[in-house]
């Protein structure tokens, strides 16, 4: 009789423990990081013909291999680039140079391949088109 009572108690305890969900409540403690560190500055206007030429140049380039207009892919979205940088001559030239020589660490770990065959003027038009997405 005593063995049956012991076995019954063990079975009851086993089923009780298996049926109860005693997992501690987990909270989402991940912090969201804004990877767009907006740079303050004055925005200039971009002529429509320059943005159109830049749009065509991007369409015939390999840019869309790593970039999308609205969402992050291998590299940042064009609209995120436009959100970060002011639209002015200094940043257009700096980013055009970066397109030509390539770079990394501005948007995390992806590395942008250099485009040495691209002229500086074409690169400026492409960057102008990208920055025009801010407006």
- Which tokens sit at 38? 């907006």
Q: Which residues are annotated as a binding site?
A: 63, 67, 112
Nearest CA among 116, 26, 131 for reference residue 82: 131
Residues 6+ apart with CB under 8 A from 84: 36, 37, 38, 39
| Total-model pTM | 0.73
**pLDDT tens digits for range 52-66:** 999 999 999 999 999
Task: Please report the pLDDT score of residue 135 as a whole number.
Answer: 64
Structural domain boundaries enclosing 103 = 3-134
Q: Which residues are annotated as a binding site for heme c?
A: 63, 67, 112
Q: Where residue 106 sits, what CATH number does that domain have? A: 1.10.760.10
Domains contained in the chain, number: 1
**pLDDT tens digits for range 91-123:** 999 999 999 999 888 888 889 999 999 999 999
**pLDDT tens digits for range 22-35:** 566 666 666 656 67
């Amino acid at each position: 009789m005593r063995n049956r009572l012991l076995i019954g108690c063990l079975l009851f305890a086993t089923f009780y423990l298996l049926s109860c969900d005693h997992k501690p409540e987990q909270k989402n403690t991940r912090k969201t990081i804004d990877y767009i560190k907006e740079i303050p500055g004055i925005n200039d206007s971009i002529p429509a013909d320059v943005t159109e030429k830049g749009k065509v140049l991007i369409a015939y380039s390999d840019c869309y291999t790593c970039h999308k207009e609205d969402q992050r892919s291998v590299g940042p979205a064009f609209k995120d680039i436009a959100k970060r940088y002011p639209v002015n001559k200094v940043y257009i030239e700096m980013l055009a140079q970066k397109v030509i020589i390539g770079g990394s660490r501005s948007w995390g770990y992806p590395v942008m391949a250099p485009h040495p065959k691209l002229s500086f003027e074409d690169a400026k038009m492409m960057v102008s088109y990208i920055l025009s997405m801010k407006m």
